[in-house]
Amino acid sequence: MSRLILIPTPIGNLEDITFRAVRVLSEVDLVLAEDTRNTLKLLSHFNISKPIWSYHQHNEHQTTAKIVEEISAGKTIALVSDAGTPGISDPGYLLLRACLDVGIEIETLPGPTALIPALVNSGLPCDRFVFEGFLPHKKGRQTRLNQLTAHRYTFVLYESPHRLLKTLAQLIELFGPEHPASVSRELSKIHEETVRGGLQEIVNYYQTNTLKGEFVIVCGAIQNAERI
């Protein structure tokens, strides 16, 4: 039966891809890729040859209807992002909703994402948590930051190397320099690291160390806050 399949791809180490993901990629009719160059390298590594269409945040509104038509006509299509699980801070939601609206079957494979390893590795409570993804760069940023103070559980942010120190400084303004946190970068890669401690301690570290790769900030809950 034709359907849309969301397939997580490695966030660094290619060994993290599942056997199932490799099999499904070799069976689908078409692969939708956030960056076709990156996906071509991934497919080539596993000796998979498939048609690849570009599907990213800048063209998803223009291409979604065409993709739905292709699936409705009988094709099984895979959606991948550059790294991790499609739909988690990457394109995917718009297409998924469009498929569901016309009764197309959706299948989502389990697999890599930066969120969970960073959360567990932080050493902070992770029985319940809030995922915030990327903060807005400009418009709405301060509003989102202020909303973080309402969280009663550990929360997780994604951040780029260019804005890491700015974001950590803003978190210090909200929670104080000693507030417990961790920052992970280059997860699953050779230079993977996690820095734990108070927010100011982490800032001090990254003022003199490498700012490279994608970062995951894990921030502890407000101390003594009431949990519901």
* pLDDT for position 1: 73
Which domains occur in the chain, in start order?
A: 3-108 (3.40.1010.10), 115-219 (3.30.950.10)
- Burial of 125 per CB tally in 10 Å (0-12, 13-18, 19+): middle
Q: How far is CA 10 from CA 14, 114, 154, in A?
A: 6, 9, 25
User: Do the beta carbons of residue 102 and residue 95 sit within 8 Å?
Assistant: no
| CB-side neighbour CA atoms (13 Å) of 75 | 18
Residue type (1 letter), 193: E
The pLDDT assigned to 143 comes to 95
Beta strand residue intervals within 81-135, DSSP E: 105-108, 129-134
- Residue 96: other Cβ atoms inside 10 A: 19
**φ, ψ (nearest 5 deg) of residue 117:** -60, -40
Angle at 96 between CA 73 and CA 75, to 5 degrees: 20
Q: Up-side HSE of residue 144: CA atoms within 13 Å toward CB? A: 14
For residue 88, count other CB atoms closer than 10 A to its CB.
17
**Is 0.75 topped by the overall pTM?**
yes
**Rounded distance, CA 67 to CA 73, Å?**
10
Q: Give the pLDDT of residue 223.
A: 62
C-alpha 179/C-alpha 199 separation (Å) is 6
Neighbour count for residue 7 (Cβ, 10 Å): 24
| Predicted confidence pLDDT, tens digits, the chain (228 residues) | 799 999 999 999 999 999 999 999 999 999 999 999 999 999 999 999 999 999 998 999 999 999 999 999 999 999 999 999 999 988 899 999 999 999 999 999 999 999 999 999 999 999 999 999 999 998 999 999 999 998 899 999 999 999 999 999 999 999 999 999 999 999 999 999 999 999 999 999 999 998 998 999 999 987 644 443
